[in-house]
Structures are given as structure tokens and as C-alpha cells.
Amino acid sequence: MHGTRRYEGPGDLHLHSTHSDGTEPPAQVMAAAHAHGMRTVALTDHDTTSGWAEAADAATSLGMTFVPGMEMSSQHRWRSIHVLAYLIDPDEPRLRAMTEKVRRSRVERARIMAERIGRDYDVTWEDILAQTSTGATVGRPHIADALVARGVVGDRGEAFSTILSAGGEYYVSLYSPDPVEAIGLIVGAGGVPIIAHPAGRAGIPPESLMARMLAAGLAGFELGHRENTPEGVATLRALAEERDLIVTGSSDYHGLGKPNQPGEHTTTEVMLARLLERGTGSAPLFP
């Protein structure tokens, strides 16, 4: 068991870097979290763990506890569900094969979207690649950045509400597993699965899916997140209490890519301790 003394203070367990769609390298993300008073941090890039080493070094040098994490893409019918995966073994073969498959699909999908958008706007696949760090998980935010660079839109938010919108003519979906499968893979890799921003505008996951996710080992919900609605949070808080689940809060910082600031939501020490006790695939790093 880990002592509680070593992770005293607020924790932000949902941060993105240039290894996915954040705009800052891992060390800079950790510095931003530290500047906002965080004492425990997790790097949770989409479908990749490649930023961990740099982030862990930076975080612990700054006196923070580092929790390894990832935000896994999944989908239930039309609904995209993001599953935060803490303390996974990054080399577990089945989980790794799945994240590699999702990342490959993301590249293919971005290429097709680029081709479609390129028919109407002055943006090319090369423009998009120029916005993406080598090896990074590619996403719509990189297409948005290319559109911003070309002066087509003012910022990522405008790109998402117009050209990149999921209902729009340029949108292409990416391959990702069912949430129940994603949760199974995370648990199989020794990780702790927590649904990210589970109460967004699309509503909370339907009851039948929720039951299957819990049966697969879902550990809890990220209830502190700016995209959650108060009604959804109230429902999920009641469920979390009834089932004794872990409840987290975090910023979902993406550097300049979103207005979210480190520490705007945080995770309590009690919940952090439960999370650390439950994960066995990788270890937290202490300063």
C-alpha cells in the first residue's frame, strides 16, 4: 500500500500533450499543472502512452506524483465514449494491439477527411501532418489546426462547430472498440477504467450499457469536468455512491487547444488513494 503523505494536495488526472491533441510537449504540460498548484498529475493522451517517460521525469522533478494514464477511444452505436485508463501495463499485448489499430484507423480517417475538406477548402494532408508531432495520435484537432493556419477558421472551437462537426458532410468516423471491450482490455492490462466526461450534452450512457460496463470492471466516473451537466452528474453521483465507485475530477487540459486550465477540477486524496490501490499494471512515480 502507498502512504497518503506522498500525494498530499490537489490532483489533476486528465491532461493532454503533443503525443495526441494537446499543443504542448509532456514536460511543458507538467510545468503548467505545477504552476496551477497541482501536486499529483496524470498524462492521458488519446490512445497512446508514448509521452509517459518525459512527463514522469518532468513531474517528479517538480515535486509532483505522476500517475501513468491514457484516454482510450471507444464507441457505443453513434456515441463516442472516452475511457480513462490509469496504471495500465503499456506493453500488455491485447491492449497494445487495440490502441495501435485505433491509431492506424485515425490516420486513415484523417486522410479521407482531408480529401473531402480539400475539395472545398485550401487545406491538404501535408498541412495536417505539419500540425502533428511525429508518432502522435492523429485527430480532428490537428485538422482544425491546419484550417486555423490557413485562415479558414479562427480557432479549434470554430472548426469543430462547423467543418469538423460529427453531423457534417466532411466527417468520417474512426474505428474504436465497444466500451465494454475497452474496459475489459484495460482491466486485463492491470489498469483502472474511469469514464471520462460521462455526463456531456449527449447524456449519460444508457442503463443497459452501464450495467455491462460495470460488470466488465468499470471503476468509476470523472464527475468533475466542465462538459458534464449538473443533472447527469447528480444521477451518476447517486450510482457511484450506491456501487461504491471511484469519482474523479480533472481539467482535460489541451494546452492552447481548449480553454480548459489545469486544476479547474481536481481529484480528492481519498479517491486518488483508491485509484492507486486498484491499479497493478504500472506504478505511480513519486518525487
Q: Scanning residues 3 to 62, which ones bind ligand AMP (CB under 6 A)?
A: 21, 46
101-134 CB burial, b ≥16 within 10 A, e <16: ebbebbeebbeebbebbeeebebebebbbebbbe
From the list 12, 21, 24, 54, which residue makes contact with Fe ion (rule: CB under 5 A)? 21
Phi–psi pair at 171, nearest 5 degrees? -70, 135
Residue of minimal Cβ distance to Fe ion:
82
Range list of H helices, the chain: 26-35, 52-61, 93-120, 125-130, 140-149, 156-161, 179-188, 207-216, 230-243, 269-278
Q: Which stretch binds Fe ion (CB under 5 A): 16-24, 60-68, 128-136, 228-236?
A: 16-24
From the list 39, 258, 265, 278, which residue makes contact with ligand AMP (rule: CB under 6 A)? 258
Question: Under a CB-based contact definition with an 8 Å cutoff, are residues 258 and 155 in contact?
Answer: no
- Please, which residue, 105 or 251, has the CB nearer to Zn ion? 251
C-alpha radius of gyration, the chain, whole number: 18
- Please, which residue, 44 or 65, has the CB nearer to ligand AMP? 44
Q: Which stretch binds ligand AMP (CB under 6 A): 32-40, 216-224, 252-260, 268-276?
A: 252-260
Regarding 287 and contact with ligand AMP (CB under 6 A), the answer is: no
Q: In what order do the strands lie in the sheet with 65-76?
A: 11-15, 40-43, 65-76, 79-86, 192-195, 220-224, 246-249
Regarding 196 and contact with Fe ion (CB under 5 A), the answer is: yes
Size of the site for ligand AMP (CB under 6 A): 11
Q: Which stretch binds ligand AMP (CB under 6 A): 93-101, 208-216, 251-259, 274-282?
A: 251-259
Copy the grid coordinates of residue 48. 497512446
Kindly list the distances between the CA atom of residue 239 and the CA atoms of 14, 201, 208, in Å, as whole numbers in the listed order.
22, 19, 14
From the list 54, 180, 252, 253, which residue makes contact with Zn ion (rule: CB under 5 A)? 252
Q: At what angle do helices 93-120 and 179-188 cross, to 10 degrees?
A: 140
Dihedral angle sign, alpha carbons of residues 94, 97, 100, 101: negative
Size of the site for Zn ion (CB under 5 A): 2
Cβ-based neighbour number of residue 80 at 10 Å: 15
Could you tell me the smallest distance in angstroms from the CB atom of residue 241 to ligand AMP?
29
Q: Which stretch binds ligand AMP (CB under 6 A): 112-120, 137-145, 234-242, 243-251?
A: 137-145
Could you tell me the smallest distance in angstroms from the CB atom of residue 160 to ligand AMP?
4
Regarding 139 and contact with ligand AMP (CB under 6 A), the answer is: yes
Q: Scanning residues 60 to 89, which ones bind Fe ion (CB under 5 A)?
A: 82
From the list 19, 103, 225, 254, which residue makes contact with ligand AMP (rule: CB under 6 A)? 254
Instruction: Say how far apart CA 185 and CA 145 lie, in whole Å.
Output: 32
**Which residues bind to Zn ion, rule: CB under 5 A?**
71, 252
